[in-house]
């Protein structure tokens, strides 16, 4: 391998390693299983190394890696066919009602402040995979446009899915805080 190419290879490897923690945290919170999360991150690295010619230098490496990981997660879910069905998924009316319930009284904000990390994780786990994905990507700092690219869906879908998911989260956390 020529020296220039080797340097590029090393640089690409360093950039991948810089994303290892973020990828692991995302995978762990997405699939709720540390072994599976590790497998997903390793597989993401393997795919990224295989497909590195497809990556455009200067574009968003982090978004590209998250997209690979999300696709791997989805492939696995399809294989397992064990995706839990949330009865509230796609229930547009429930968003408004849960939001209205949430708006009752300032006491709710105080309760929210007393929640602990386990409550947050439990509330996240009550979401559907799609809803959890969009919440986690948003919290990771991706814009709605980037999230739409990672999830291969329309921008409007991301916005409505995020609003709905956060309304469900607030509703779930309101229950934990009582």
For residue 103, state whether it binds other proteins (rule: CB under 8 A).
yes
Is the CB of residue 84 less than 8 Å from the CB of residue 125?
A: no
For residue 101, state whether it binds other proteins (rule: CB under 8 A).
no
Q: Which stretch binds other proteins (CB under 8 A): 69-77, 79-87, 105-113, 147-155?
A: 105-113
Taking CB under 8 A as the criterion, the residue among 6, 152, 163, 175 binding other proteins is 163
Taking CB under 8 A as the criterion, the residue among 8, 16, 86, 129 binding other proteins is 16
Is the CB of residue 130 less than 8 Å from the CB of residue 161?
A: yes
- 157 conformational bin, left if phi > 0, alpha if psi -120 to 50, beta if neither: alpha
Say how many residues touch other proteins, by CB under 8 A.
Answer: 45
Taking CB under 8 A as the criterion, the residue among 8, 28, 76, 157 binding other proteins is 28
Taking CB under 8 A as the criterion, the residue among 38, 91, 125, 175 binding other proteins is 38
* Burial class of residue 135 (count of CB atoms within 10 Å of its CB; 0-12, 13-18, 19+): buried
The span from the CA of 6 to the CA of 119, in Å, is 47
In the bound complex, what is the minimum distance in angstroms from residue 116's beta carbon to other proteins?
Answer: 9
Is the CB of residue 127 less than 8 Å from the CB of residue 86?
A: yes
The span from the CA of 157 to the CA of 41, in Å, is 26
For residue 102, state whether it binds other proteins (rule: CB under 8 A).
yes
For residue 1, state whether it binds other proteins (rule: CB under 8 A).
no
Q: Which is nearer to other proteins, 57 or 85 (CB)?
A: 57
Interacting residue ranges for other proteins, rule: CB under 8 A: 13, 16-25, 28-29, 34, 38, 41-42, 45-46, 49, 62, 99, 102-103, 106, 108-109, 112-113, 115, 117, 120-121, 138-141, 143, 159, 162-163, 166, 169-170, 173
């Amino acid at each position: 391998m020529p020296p220039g190419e080797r340097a590029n290879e090393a640089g690409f490897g360093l950039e991948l390693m810089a994303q290892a923690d973020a990828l692991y945290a995302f995978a762990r919170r997405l699939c709720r299983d540390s072994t599976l999360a590790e497998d997903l991150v390793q597989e993401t690295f393997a795919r990224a190394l295989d497909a590195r010619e497809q990556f455009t230098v200067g574009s968003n490496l982090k978004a590209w890696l998250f997209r690979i990981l999300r696709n791997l997660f989805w492939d696995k879910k399809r294989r397992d066919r064990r995706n839990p069905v949330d009865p509230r998924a796609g229930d547009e009316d429930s968003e408004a009602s849960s939001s209205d319930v949430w708006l009752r009284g300032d006491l709710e904000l105080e309760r929210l402040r007393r929640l602990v990390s386990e409550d947050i994780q439990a509330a996240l786990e009550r979401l559907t995979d799609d809803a959890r994905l969009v919440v986690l990507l948003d919290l990771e700092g991706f814009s709605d446009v980037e999230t739409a690219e990672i999830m291969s869906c329309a921008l409007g879908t991301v916005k409505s899915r995020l609003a709905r998911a956060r309304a469900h989260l607030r509703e779930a956390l309101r229950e934990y805080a009582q």
